[in-house]
Amino acid sequence: MNELKLQPGFIFRALLLIVAGVVVIDGIHQILYARSALGELGKWLRGHATDDSWRHMRQAYAVLRGPRDDPAYQEIFFDQKIKFQYLLTSLLPFYFAEKLGIFLGNRTLNFVSGICVVLQILAVAQVAVMAFRRRVAAGAGALVPQGPAWGVWAVAAVAALLFYPQLKAYSLGQVQAWLNAWFALACLAWMLNRPFAAGMLVALVCLFKPQFALFLPWALLRRQWHFVAGWCAVAFTGAAMSLAFFGWRDNLDYLSVLSFMSRHGEAYYPNQSVNGLLNRLLGNGDSTQWESGGFPPYHAVVHAATILTSALLVGFCLFHKFRAANFSVVDVLIAALSFTMASPIAWEHHYGGLVVAFPVLALLLLEWSQPRERRMLLALLAVSWLLCSRFWPSAQELAPTWANPLQSYLFFGFLALLWLMYRVRDFAADRLGQTPATAGRRPQWPLRRLSAARFARR
């Protein structure tokens, strides 16, 4: 009993030391490299962002609307070497803006991205508070010091604010900043027992990133019918508009891009996937230089390993505990992380939406019943946070050495996070989850609940 009483204080002191270490490391990075999370935070505060997505999207839309004989992606991706890798549904905002006589410039688009960063921070903080309150309502607290919810909110908000992949999406001028916010809001909608809204928000992400289409079979296997309905409402509407505006030939031509990227991938170090790891390990391309119009040469071992690991990540995610009685936001996070890691190209900023996993897992692990295992799991979570939330420029010095796999430190950090989420999945479903029946039930409005209560009294 004494060990249990002292355990929370020990954990919080250890976490405090870790946070202090992170601050010192960030300061050193800021001075030497100006590339740490604090450096990216400064860019967001000053509104400094480039046009990594917007430039390619505008170029692609100009080709799409101009005269040509070849299919869209043949002209854009293969002939002009423009690395536009999104679905044509991603160009719908440009189509509607053109019809309204509005020019979507970098300033406007980056302003929207800045708002999305704020929305994501608020969503992450609110998810953490809801997880904290459900933990208290479930009777937890014997091993976790009780405190005000605002403290949990503040810690989660600061963690989200200093999360490098999220801020990097903004500073690059990446549409991924929008997608990260939509996914964080989807997690919040799930916690609020609004699966239809969660499905709609995930489908919005899918209009840009096709790997999130795997959420459809994921939800079908788990009988999350309202999530499926929300997903289909947005995804099918977006697909129908894209087909109507841009045509079948140009939309289906995207399959050639998917095939090419799965065969080649990227060797550049921000590609934090199995494909990127193996390309760098085998010296198949320059990992320190960005090729604006090129890709590493085809390598059979890289291609085969990419397909195999992708199938394992996706297959295990789809079928693991799919008949369980309860599901929680941790199941949603497992799916999102698995689908992201399974992609042949997964840039650092593609992981920005996963910041919501860290405060949720921290709260769950702080009430883990076995003290020794709790310490080990929390230590692993802290290591994962250090790897995933930081930019470590010194790792790039290992590019020409046998230790170049360490350039994939962010991938390894998220791999540890994925293992941790699988480890706590059942515990999270018990503490935070809802049954499929509850998740699929139509919510009752206050007046309807009041009428039901009066009828019961009669």
pLDDT tens digit sequence for 319-347: 999 999 899 999 999 999 999 999 999 99
- 393 pLDDT band, cuts 50/70/90, is confident
Judge whether 450 lies within some domain: no
What pLDDT, on the 0 to 100 scale, is given for residue 10?
Answer: 55
Q: Is 455 a member of any domain?
A: no
> Residue 200 and residue 227: Cα distance in Å, rounded?
8
| Inside any domain, residue 456 | no
The pLDDT-based confidence of 119 (bands split at 50, 70, 90) is very high
Q: Is residue 454 part of a domain?
A: no
CA distance 429 to 367: 14
DSSP H or E run through 350: none
Share of the chain above pLDDT 70, in %: 83
Q: Note whether residue 458 is domain-resident.
A: no
Q: Which of 26, 24, 46, 16 is nearest to 155 (CA)?
A: 16
Mean pLDDT for 380-401 is: 88
- Total domains in the chain come to 1
Q: What is the pLDDT of residues 243-289, one digit of tens each?
A: 999 999 999 999 999 999 999 999 999 999 999 999 999 999 888 88
Q: How far apart (Å, rounded) are the C-alpha atoms in residues 407 and 64? A: 37
What Å distances lie between residue 325 and 76, 360, 433, CA to CA?
47, 20, 9
Mean pLDDT of the chain: 85
In a domain, 106, yes or no: yes
Q: What is the pLDDT of residues 127-165, one digit of tens each?
A: 999 988 876 665 554 444 455 678 889 889 999 998 999
Find the angle CA(102)-CA(105)-CA(110) to the nearest 5 degrees: 120
Query: What pTM value is reported for the model?
Result: 0.86
Is residue 102, in this structure, part of any structural domain at all?
Answer: yes
Residue 299 contacts residue 284 (beta carbons within 8 Å): yes
Nearest one of 155, 101, 99 to 125, comparing CA atoms: 155
pLDDT at 22: 52
- Say whether pLDDT at 443 is over 60: no
**In-domain check, residue 452:** no
Q: Which domain holds residue 341?
A: 2-441
Residue 436 has pLDDT above 60, yes or no: no
Confidence (pLDDT) at 96: 95
Q: Is 68 helix (H, G, I), strand (E, B) or coil?
A: coil
Q: Mean pLDDT throughout 203-211?
A: 95
